[in-house]
Structure 1
Amino acid sequence: MDQPTVGILHPGSMGAAVAACAASNATEVLWCENGRSTASAERAVRFGLTPVTTLSELLGRSDIVISLCPPAAAEDLARDVAGHRFTGAFVEANAINPERVQRIAALLEPDATVVDGGVVGSPPVGGKAPTLYLSGPASATERIEALFAGTAVRTAVLGTEVGKASALKLSYACFQKTSRVLVALAVGVAREHGVDQELIEIASRRTDSYLSEPQYVAKTAARAWRWGPELEEAADALAAAGLPPEMLRAAASTLARWNDAKDDGELTLTDALDRLARP
């Protein structure tokens, strides 16, 4: 198969590094310099990307376009691409929800073939190797797999349904990103009382992730009646320390959906999730 020409929209820290990996199996990787910052231009030069002056030129020359931009801009960017009647493969790789991906697919099809993508991991530099999860038409996901073959970007295909890759990305982000914020709150309130080092020492005894133990959700549900008030108390402590309490109040509100499961030792994971979704 001939090597494709690839366009990247836009070369941020993740996009530029991913594009540089794609360059291994592409004729060239284009980026549009119109309206981009000096930092973007410097990044593009550093990663060996080829500048073009207009979006029209980029789309006209590209067989595959990868969209990696701030989530809020994803649909507007797709709308711009749709206005040029792009006919290649469009990889929607932004951290957006499945419904938005499906709206974008509706904008671009049938002219373009849309592949849903979700990058999990850090930019592929300095030995980092993120995974690009893909879902969409098999012929198109195969092209994207080939584009990143042998590079620091691993690929994994989740099926033909557009939206699955984004669902996986955001499901993981729910935990991974929020847990980092919880660390800041926990250490912040501990520091206020001079026990932050002791907190870190307690945490260091446990090295695995709660996300890998979903069976514990049922136990959480059974204990929610007392965990919720405990988190309300913790939220009060955060507020007293000048830290934002809203996240813990939201967690307490979530736990309240399980109040009728008080001390239910027979509760299963399925039961707990069903109650959470349909209180």
Structure 2
Amino acid sequence: MDKPTVGILHPGSMGAAVAGCAAANVSEVLWCETGRSTASVERATQFGLTPVAELAELLDRSDIVISLCPPAAAEDLARNVAGHRFAGVYVEANAINPERTTRIAGLLEPAATVVDGGVVGSPPVHGKTPTLYLSGPADSTARIEALFAGTDVRTTTLGTEIGKASALKLSYASFQKTSRVLVALAVGMAREHAVDQELIELASRRTDSYLSEPQYVAKTAARAWRWGPELQEAADALAAAGLPPEMLRAAASTLARWHDVKDDSGLTLTDALGRLAQP
């Protein structure tokens, strides 16, 4: 059987690394370079992705398209793809709530086949092995599993229902990301009263506590531009389930105070807490 061609929309830190893993099992991985940043070009080159000039060309040549972009852009991107009458398999792998995933499936079907996806974990570099959870038509999820066979991206299929993968991703993110926001607030309060070291020592007596490792606060601040919108999606999912969304919306609002330190790997705990206290 001929190896498929895959298109990635768009090669951010996660998308580029995931696409790079798939490259081992496909004929080539395409990405659209028009309007993208220098950083995107560098990532795409690093992972051996093939540039094309226009989205139409990417869609015409691709058997499978993987969408990994900021949550807010997911529907507009899908609508753009639908406008080109893409007829392959579309993996909606963004951190969006199940209702939005279902709407996107409605935009693309029946011309395309939609697979719901959710990536849990860090990008597959430096030994990291994230899991791509899948749900959707069995033959299509099997094709996506084959893309990543033997790579650092693990796959788990949850069933045939669109929305399951998105729900699992956001359920996990609700805890994983909000807990780190709470660490920032707790350490910030303790530091204001000069008891931050005592707080960390207290937390370190317990196992698996983010509070004992406040260095993660700076990492959280650098990722806030992505995590805030993701928690808004999770809040929408809570509201749709009849559950109170206010805590996640507050966490997203807190993350917004760090919007200007996007991907700043040099940020310190002191800098992050200072920006949190004085946005």
The TM-score by the shorter chain falls in which range? Answer: 0.7 to 0.9
| Matched residues, number | 216
Percent identity (aligned):
84
Residue 79 of structure 1 pairs with residue 76 of structure 2: no
**What one-letter code is carried by the residue in structure 1 that aligns with 2:193?**
H
Corresponding residue for residue 233 of structure 2: none
**TM-score, reference length from structure 1:** 0.75
Q: 1:248 to 1:171 in 2, by over 3 A?
A: closer
**What one-letter code is carried by the residue in structure 2 that aligns with 1:146?**
A
Corresponding residue for residue 53 of structure 1: 53
* Correspondence list, 1:1-279, <5 A: 1-208=1-208
Pairwise CA distance, 1:203: 1.0
Structure with higher Rg: it is 1
**Is the partner of 2:115 in helix, strand or coil?**
strand
Q: 1:37 to 1:248 in 2, by over 3 A?
A: closer
Task: Output the aligned Cα RMSD.
Answer: 1.8
Paired residues of 2:174 and 2:248 also in contact (CA < 8 A): no
**What one-letter code is carried by the residue in structure 1 that aligns with 2:113?**
T
Pairwise CA distance, 1:248: 10
CA–CA distance in structure 2, aligned partners of residues 14 and 191 of structure 1: 33
Corresponding residue for residue 275 of structure 1: none
CA–CA distance in structure 2, aligned partners of residues 71 and 248 of structure 1: 15
**Is the partner of 1:58 in helix, strand or coil?**
helix
**Is the partner of 1:76 in helix, strand or coil?**
helix
Q: 1:119 to 1:250 in 2, by over 3 A?
A: closer
Pairwise CA distance, 1:207: 1.6
Q: 1:29 to 1:14 in 2, by over 3 A?
A: same
Pairwise CA distance, 1:247: 5.6
Corresponding residue for residue 265 of structure 1: none
**What one-letter code is carried by the residue in structure 2 that aligns with 1:165?**
A
CA–CA distance in structure 1, aligned partners of residues 54 and 21 of structure 2: 23
**TM-score, reference length from structure 2:** 0.75
CA–CA distance in structure 1, aligned partners of residues 158 and 248 of structure 2: 34
Corresponding residue for residue 237 of structure 2: none
CA–CA distance in structure 1, aligned partners of residues 93 and 249 of structure 2: 32
User: Hey, which bits of structure 1, 4+ residues long, moved more than 3 A?
Assistant: 246-251
**Is the partner of 1:94 in helix, strand or coil?**
coil
Pairwise CA distance, 1:46: 1.0
**Is the partner of 1:162 in helix, strand or coil?**
coil
Deviates more, 1:72-81 or 1:35-44: 35-44
Q: 1:118 to 1:198 in 2, by over 3 A?
A: same
